[in-house]
Amino acid sequence: MKKLILILVLAGFFYSANAQDNLEIVDPGKMWSYMDHVTWMPSFDKKTYYHKFNGDTIIDQMTYLKVWQSEDEYYQDWVHYGYIRSDENGDVYFLNNIFYGGLIYRFDVQVGDTFTIYNPHLYEFQVEVLSLDSVLISPLEQYRKRIVIADPNIGWNEPETWIEGVGSMAGIINSGFHAHLLTGGVVTVLCEWQDGTKVFSHPDWSSCFMTTVSTPENPENEPVLTIFPMPLENNSVIKINKQLNDGRIVFVDMFGKTVKEMATSNEETISIQRDSFSPGIYIVSLYDESRFVDRVKLLVK
């Protein structure tokens, strides 16, 4: 019996380690956020986008995952953005919605290598590998290969950094956007999640979602739904600051799957336990009958 328990514990440990040591880019368990920000206007406008890959499709006899994009802080509303695949060498290819595109990443490289990027949201151009080293990424606290590229044919553009398993520091679908700067704004990756657990956070930014152009979703004048303490480590309390006729609380994971529902009717506080959830981020929504009332994020450690 003791041997069986030890085997199960070790199996769980190795599964967790392998899940977080995932160097693949094209993975339906991953999600990224990146920020598009204007640096030359007084308002310094910011807008954040999420990207994820989900749903197989066949294009020219090759299997792609569909690329989805969301501007919603609570990542509930997604639009189809394109297609992505990787080959046996780890090269990554992206097509937009009209099937135009090509190579956007190559990680098996040496200093001095040159190749052409075919990012359909920019244009195609040649890049050269300037340097290779490793960098510690947080909060995973793991060293990953870092690749610095630039266009060798021009001298006025900035180098661009790629991190294995994370992608470009311009954003997962924005490879080349730092090597060829866009007029009017800068794009920067903010965070990456693996199976709901954050594995990368940009060291220069404190949040995974930053915007100056959104409007509050909550139709109430004051917050109705709060959860404390946050994050959920043992027990937390949901507090509802409103009389409800037929209340319902819905917990949804980062990939849109409903993992828990709770009925509530005029209850001010509800207790939730850590062992009811896997680690990650959840969207907690409050409804009264069919009417949406409020929504908050829940972080489970």
Query: Rounded to the nearest 5 degrees, what angle is found at the Cα of 177, between the Cα atoms of 174 and 181?
Result: 160
Q: What is the pTM of this model?
A: 0.76
**pLDDT for the residue numbered 159:** 92
- How far, rounded to the nearest angstrom, does the alpha carbon of residue 48 sit from its chain's CA centroid? 11
**pLDDT for the residue numbered 38:** 64
Q: How many CB atoms lie within 10 A of CB 289?
A: 10
**pLDDT for the residue numbered 61:** 95
CATH superfamily of 225-300: Immunoglobulins (2.60.40.10)
pLDDT mean for each 10 residues of the chain (301 residues)? 40 42 91 81 74 96 97 89 96 95 97 94 91 94 96 83 97 92 76 92 89 55 84 91 88 86 80 90 89 89 82
* 3-state per-residue secondary structure call for the chain: CHHHHHHHHHHHHHHHHHHHCCCCCCCCCEEEEEEEECCCCCCCCEEEEEEEEEEEEEECCEEEEEEEEECCCCCCCCEEEEEEEECCCCCEEEECCCCCEEEEECCCCCCCCEEEEECCCCCEEEEEEEEEEEEEECECCEEEEEEEEECCCCCCCCCEEEECCCEECCCCCCCCCCCCCCCCCEEEEEEEEECCEEEEECCCCCCCCCCCCCCCCCCCCCCCEEEECCCECCEEEEEECCCCCCEEEEEEECCCCEEEEEEECCCCEEEEEHHHCCCEEEEEEEEECCEEEEEEEEEEC
**pLDDT for the residue numbered 14:** 38
Q: Output the six-digit token pair for 120.
A: 């359909």
**Phi, psi torsion values for 15, nearest 5 degrees:** -65, -45
* Per-domain boundaries in the chain: 26-201, 225-300
**pLDDT for the residue numbered 186:** 83
**pLDDT for the residue numbered 122:** 82
**pLDDT for the residue numbered 256:** 79
- As a whole number of angstroms, the distance between CA 97 and CA 99 comes to 5
**pLDDT for the residue numbered 180:** 84
